[in-house]
Amino acid sequence: MVFKEIIARKRDGHELRDEEIAFFIRGVTDGTIPDYQIAALLMAIYLRGMTDRETVALTREMMHSGEVLDLSDIPGPKVDKHSTGGVGDKISLPLAPLVASLGVVVPMISGRALGHTGGTLDKLESIPGYRTDLSVSEFKEALRTVGVAIIGQTGELAPADRRLYALRDATATVSSVPLITSSILSKKLAEGIDGLVLDVKTGSGAFMRRYEDARALARSMVAITRGVGKKVVALITNMDQPLGWAVGNALEVVEAVEILQNRGPEDTTELTKTLAVEMLLLAGRARTPEDARQQVDQALASGRAYAKWQEMVRHQGGDPEAVLQPEFIRTRFQEPVAAPESGYLAAYDTYALGMAATVLGAGRLTKEDRIDPAVGLRVFKKVGDRVEQGEPLLEIRANDPERLRLAREHLAGAFRIAPDPVDRPKLVLERLA
């Protein structure tokens, strides 16, 4: 094939054939197609889009560009969850061991902080000794022994995605729905799972701020996952305010432990339970949502879910007891951000809160930046709460005075107070299956 002709066909709005997409991904993987031609096709896809058939083919080829795990020798159903990312979104941490404690194998390959959103791997690596760099054989051994493991992407899984993502980032084509869909699903489906639950965020702290964009992405991922023969359900959830009280790495680990100890914040606990119910249903471990919810509640109340968390952390080299010590989240500075007037908290600029945590060192502005695990924000008030003038809305936790100043700038005007009561936002906005 002549790759220039493939670029021209997509440029002119034609549907690419399966063999053309296969040729493209082979060239990406083995380096025979130069970056400038890959970038040209990415831009053509961004402008012209892809049909579901094309996106299924693209996802399948990317998934098979490297190793696809065979977990058939590990007993039990295998189900994972993916979130498109948000501020304070630590749900994977309690969710994975909770579901594993109920007999579902959870192979979870996660990412690092991206833009204003936190990364599951960065949170887990705040735990002394915790390893996210397990090899494929170590990953499978953890799944066989513990029933759950949360690790970073290995070099063997979906290698085409790494090259494509770097070029998408450099060519302003990241936000293409078919390219997002294939990027996410090629990695998730290479885990060897039977089913996938998707948490697609929308709102001021999400990558897809507009509801219609989030819905388009959710619809695409459901269609493509089903198109490659896997069970799937997607929830569109609200990211117009931070999830829980903690934004930051060690702070969010502490909150995850509180959820597993059945004493976490209402919103993060409820979302964890809701996603756990969906995973149990996909796995066939529950006949009805009510049955699944009863199992989830019992696993949390009995301590079974927390025990599975401790087992997972220890198996991956971490010290679960360190999370319970005060020094785990100790910082040099703790500065409150007070309400300028009395009334009702009407809105957060959740993106601004995420950026404040990032400049504190909870995330990365460049890929070379080092994470400071203890820093972040503690949120005291939720949308709909009554606040009094001078009352703290949140607290900045910092280790560097200059970073504290930058965070203060991001938080100036990052909330709105109304004189009259406002409705509390709904957490789960829609379910697609």
Catalytic residues: 82, 161, 168, 183, 187
β-pair type (343-348, 386-387): antiparallel
Euclidean distance between CA atoms 74 and 364, whole angstroms: 37
Give CA–CA dist 267/231, Å, rounded: 26
Burial of 390 (0-12, 13-18, 19+ CB in 10 A): exposed
Q: CA-to-CA distance for 388 and 419, rounded, in angstroms?
A: 11
CA distance 67 to 84: 24
Closest by Cα among 378, 398, 382, 371 to 346: 382
Q: Are 260 and 309 in contact (CB under 8 A)?
A: yes
Nearest to 383 by CA among 417, 340, 410: 417
Encoded tokens for 404? 């504290």
Q: Answer whether 361's CB lies under 8 Å from 403's CB.
A: yes
Rounded to whole angstroms, how far apart are CA atoms 228 and 319?
A: 39
Cβ atoms of 399 and 374 within 8 Å: the answer is yes
The 3-state DSSP class for residue 56 equals: helix
Tokens 């499978």 belong to which residue?
140
Cβ atoms of 113 and 358 within 8 Å: the answer is yes
| DSSP letters spanning 357-410 | HIIIIIS-SSTTPPP-TT-EEEE---TT-EE-TT-EEEEEEES-HHHHHHHHHH
Contact 363, 118 (CB under 8 A): yes
DSSP code at position 288: S
Tokens of 305: 């879910």
